[in-house]
Structure 1
Amino acid sequence: MANIENSAGKPDAGLVRKGLIQAFFAALLAFGMFVLYVGLKTDQNISNELVIVQRWGLLAIFVIIAAVGRFAVVMFAATPGLFATTMRVVVPIAVLLIVGYLAYVFIREQLWGDLLTLGVLVVLAALLGVLIKYVLLPAEERRRERNVEAERLGLPLEASPYETHFLKAVLVALLLYPVMAVALRGPQGSLTFVDNFGIQILIYVMLAWGLNIVVGLAGLLDLGYVAFYAVGAYSYALLSSYFGLSFWVLLPLSGIFAALWGVILGFPVLRLRGDYLAIVTLAFGEIIRLVIINWTDLTKGTFGISGIAKASVFGIWTFDVGKVNNFAKVFGLPSSSAYYKIFLFYVILALCMLTAYVTIRLRRMPIGRAWEALREDEIACRSLGINTVTTKLTAFATGAMFAGFAGSFFAARQGFVSPESFVFLESAVILAIVVLGGMGSLTGIAIAAIVMVGGTEALRSMDFLKEIFGPTFTPELYRMLIFGLAMVVVMLFKPRGFVGSRSPTAFLKARKAISGSFIKEGHG
């Protein structure tokens, strides 16, 4: 370590020189990769002629990010403690700059409604921080002290207060989220928060929790998970259009159909593991998508299916404007599409809670223990007498069932389905959420879904970035690049995900003495 750190714990000059050299080569590589894609862009002028737009400033930003990132990786990897020291300086400065810029935008545009919303969110975040620091953290410390003594005596351990209190507070906040959005922004103004940030995130949370059963618990790499999502959506769309069945009848049917396809997929892949399993599941997802595109007599191909019936409140109240039992007319409310979105928010929230409850219960049952054994070592799992055939099939079927639920909800929410909504990129995003959140951790996966999906939706609304990078800058085009960089950073510093949890649910908490008769000759 002499050539890396000096006696004061600071990076040595040789390490700095090495980091600068690697940063220079990273900048050259980034320049070569992005010069044609970012620096030069083909566009049409007023005369409808093809011209090349030069964006050297944006290219310079990409090159600088690559160089600084490579330099930081070299320094942080070789110098313990430097990352924490740097973050103590960088994070407050970044927060001050962001807050200052937002204040400037609010004051310049006089967006007092947005300022009030931001203020309420800051107050709620501060209250949450106070709750964690002065209530949950002391309780957690006391619990750890009691568990040390309980483990020594062989007594059962206490649950974490984060699981018993914090998650309950999060559930209450989710229940109040649409009400707060309507109170702060009005019915129409709350659509963006309830639909784009609320419903969209919860759909991906449910999909990721369903895939977590296959990948996180059973250890089966599935790259075609979006196929079950498509089966659920098209099952709802076709049965609703041709037979007029309601949402509450088609919701369980869509899950059953998707689970059936999960079993059909499970049979050909019983002998496959690892990369071979991933290739077959990827092919299955593409087969489903191509069937949807080419079976035009049934699915209408690339044109999609439109005019899908909306969901109703258990058939009592509908959200169709022309109906007598319209929700707004019955309760004397002004006509608005926000009520339907709020209703859908609570429906998808209930579906997410159902998914979490079933996952937790199954993990504690013998089938959940069998999934974990299959994940750790399939050969050892088979040697213990566990039927790996039924174990794999139940994992595929259960995960596919929740994808079918989410697909039917997606069709009811959109009112339109097409093959473009079920491409491989969706499977990749869902799998990335599971990996980043921590395979096997429901809380971590939910956090990853909020970061990834919420970040995507936030980039769509960041029009002020055009003022910085120019009018031709479109944040949506670079969101996957940003998420790719974020995934690299997370995998470097949190390789097991935000909340990595792969410990089995059944393990020996304390050593126990056994009788000598069990180890005599003739007894094993």
Structure 2
Amino acid sequence: MSMTRGSRKSWQYFGLGLAWFYLLLWPLLGIRDGELHFADAFAVWLRVAVGATICFVLYRLGKAGRLDGVLSPLAAARDAVGDALGRAPRWMLLAPVIVFALAYPMLTNRYAQDVAINVLVYICLGLGLNVVVGLCGLLDLGYIAFYGVGAYTYALLSVHYSVPFWVCLPICAIFAAVAGCFIGYPTLRMRGDYLAIVTLGFGEIVRIVINNWMALTGGPNGILGIKSPGIYIPHFVDGSFSFEYLLLRKLEYLYYIILALAAFTIVAVHRINFSRIGRAFEAIREDETAAELMGVDTFRFKLLAYALGAVFGGLAGAFFAARMRFVSPESFTFIESAMVLAMVVLGGMGSIPGVILGALALVALPEAFREFELYRMLAFGGAMAVMMLVRPAGLWPAARMGKRSDDTE
């Protein structure tokens, strides 16, 4: 009897969800030119309802054990594949990924290359924020400020002093780290929601300063005329040897630059994760009071986490300015911080592959569904909500997240 009641209640909730979905969908498709239309919204809703009903019926049958004859062999095959991949050498798994990443510009068009560049930029940002949020457990809602510091540092040095991009990269990283220390020092004595609110405030302060400091940043007009990255290549003319300076303006060249920066970020964050510093970050994340009692200087390590995370944001900002050749305050709003934080949470806090998957999900998938422009973001938001319900730890949870001795006992 209880099973019947539980099943009936689940179907009631499912029906309410479909009705709520129609109430959201109808204003998007049913109000046009001052008139009310119901057919288009109902047609889209009907297709979604049929698909959702099929999935829900399969889910209920699986919960009741009526699909064990099909699900058990699939689970066994999944476990066997997982064990085989776990025993395989790491280079066998990474080699195809590296080859595909290097050959990607040769296999795709300009639009696909542009999307890939955006994904790689957000991978750098997501991994930088992952150091702060995922490893150290500090909720930062103003991370995009370091992205802006890196972008404006390169823009100013390039426009006013003609400093090359490669020289500016470490300078941008240093300036972003200093900005991280300035923002982190007065805020890291707070915890929880108070820390999130203060970091949000500092992020907005940086954006407002950029927007109003006309003499330095150009204010809302931004900075134009930023130089693209360039390299010196050997040049032979009539038997004489010299070096020619080549500007890397093509998308495929920019792709390889951000690919190198993303690879550097992945390796650096991986090394941080499995170092003594990474262990200290995790101790602070799990229990800051216990970590302090065990001798971890929590304030200095939290400040270090802010500085390290800001470094990768500064590098991504420098590349962004070099790629766009124009920067303005509109590129560094709170919605960008929320976007990067969503990548970290969706992919799995503390997980490098998870952050990469999160960046792909939040940047590449909306582009893949661009033809459904009217309701693609609605479907995308619904998919994210379902993902958080099905896998609350993220697409690829961190292996060491929350693994404590008292939990295993």
TM range (shorter): 0.7 to 0.9
Amino acid at match of 1:303: N
Amino acid at match of 2:391: K
Distance 1:377 1:250, change over 3 A: same
Amino acid at match of 1:56: F
Counterpart of 1:179?
106
Amino acid at match of 1:195: D
Counterpart of 2:219?
301
Q: Does 1:482 align with 2:379?
A: yes
Deviation (angstroms), 1:360: 1.5
Whether the aligned pair in 1 keeps the contact of 2:233 and 2:245 (CA below 8 Å) is no
Counterpart of 1:362?
272
Q: Does 1:39 align with 2:21?
A: no
Counterparts of 1:346-357 in structure 2, within 5 Å, are 346-357=256-267
Counterpart of 2:350?
440
Q: Which runs of 5+ in 1 are unaligned?
A: 5-11, 42-50, 90-132, 144-158, 182-189, 319-323, 329-336, 466-474, 509-524
Measured in 1, the distance between the counterparts of 2:196 and 2:402 equals 26
C-alpha distance after superposition, 1:174-233 (max 9, x if no partner): 01111233xxxxxxxx2112122x211111111111111011100111111111111111
Deviation (angstroms), 1:16: 5.3
Counterpart of 1:233?
151
SS in 2 for 1:309: coil
C-alpha distance after superposition, 1:91-116 (max 9, x if no partner): xxxxxxxxxxxxxxxxxxxxxxxxxx
Deviation (angstroms), 1:483: 2.6
Counterpart of 1:417?
327
Amino acid at match of 2:293: S
Measured in 1, the distance between the counterparts of 2:301 and 2:263 equals 24
Deviation (angstroms), 1:371: 0.2
Q: Does 1:381 align with 2:308?
A: no
Out of 50, 60, 84, the position equivalent to 2:42 is: 60
Distance 1:222 1:162, change over 3 A: farther
Q: TM-score, normalised by structure 1?
A: 0.67
Out of 188, 198, 209, the position equivalent to 1:280 is: 198
Whether the aligned pair in 2 keeps the contact of 1:26 and 1:70 (CA below 8 Å) is no
Counterpart of 2:239?
none
Larger relative contact order (Cα-Cα within 8 Å, sequence gap ≥ 6): 2
Amino acid at match of 2:148: A
Counterparts of 1:63-102 in structure 2, within 5 Å, are 64=46, 80-81=62-63
Measured in 1, the distance between the counterparts of 2:307 and 2:322 equals 23
SS in 2 for 1:499: coil
Amino acid at match of 1:161: A
Q: Does 1:250 align with 2:241?
A: no
Amino acid at match of 1:488: A
Out of 370, 389, 402, the position equivalent to 2:312 is: 402
Q: Does 1:268 align with 2:186?
A: yes
Amino acid at match of 2:276: P
Counterpart of 1:192?
111
Identity %: 41
Distance 1:317 1:483, change over 3 A: farther
Amino acid at match of 2:305: A
Amino acid at match of 1:405: L
Measured in 2, the distance between the counterparts of 1:387 and 1:397 equals 16
Whether the aligned pair in 1 keeps the contact of 2:348 and 2:354 (CA below 8 Å) is yes
Measured in 2, the distance between the counterparts of 1:357 and 1:493 equals 30
Amino acid at match of 2:272: L
Deviation (angstroms), 1:24: 3.8
- When Rg is computed on C-alpha atoms for both structures, the one with the higher figure is 1
SS in 1 for 2:158: helix
Measured in 2, the distance between the counterparts of 1:39 and 1:255 equals 49
Q: Does 1:25 align with 2:16?
A: yes
Measured in 2, the distance between the counterparts of 1:84 and 1:295 equals 66
Counterpart of 2:92?
165
Deviation (angstroms), 1:406: 0.2
Counterpart of 1:493?
390
Measured in 1, the distance between the counterparts of 2:217 and 2:375 equals 32
Amino acid at match of 1:454: A
Whether the aligned pair in 2 keeps the contact of 1:23 and 1:68 (CA below 8 Å) is no
Amino acid at match of 1:193: A
C-alpha distance after superposition, 1:146-186 (max 9, x if no partner): xxxxxxxxxxxxx75273321232112101111233xxxxx
Measured in 2, the distance between the counterparts of 1:407 and 1:61 equals 44
Measured in 2, the distance between the counterparts of 1:394 and 1:30 equals 45
Measured in 2, the distance between the counterparts of 1:453 and 1:178 equals 18
Distance 1:342 1:75, change over 3 A: same
Deviation (angstroms), 1:366: 1.5
Deviation (angstroms), 1:423: 1.4
Measured in 2, the distance between the counterparts of 1:459 and 1:69 equals 18
Whether the aligned pair in 1 keeps the contact of 2:154 and 2:321 (CA below 8 Å) is yes
Measured in 1, the distance between the counterparts of 2:311 and 2:60 equals 46
SS in 2 for 1:220: coil
Distance 1:503 1:25, change over 3 A: same
Deviation (angstroms), 1:76: 7.3
C-alpha distance after superposition, 1:225-268 (max 9, x if no partner): 11111111111111111111110111111111111111111112
Distance 1:265 1:82, change over 3 A: farther
SS in 1 for 2:141: coil
Whether the aligned pair in 2 keeps the contact of 1:34 and 1:59 (CA below 8 Å) is yes
Counterpart of 1:451?
361
Amino acid at match of 2:185: F
SS in 1 for 2:34: strand
Counterpart of 1:187?
none
Counterpart of 2:240?
none
Measured in 1, the distance between the counterparts of 2:20 and 2:12 equals 13
Whether the aligned pair in 1 keeps the contact of 2:28 and 2:375 (CA below 8 Å) is no
Q: Which runs of 5+ in 2 are unaligned?
A: 72-76, 236-242
Measured in 2, the distance between the counterparts of 1:345 and 1:53 equals 47
Counterpart of 1:209?
127
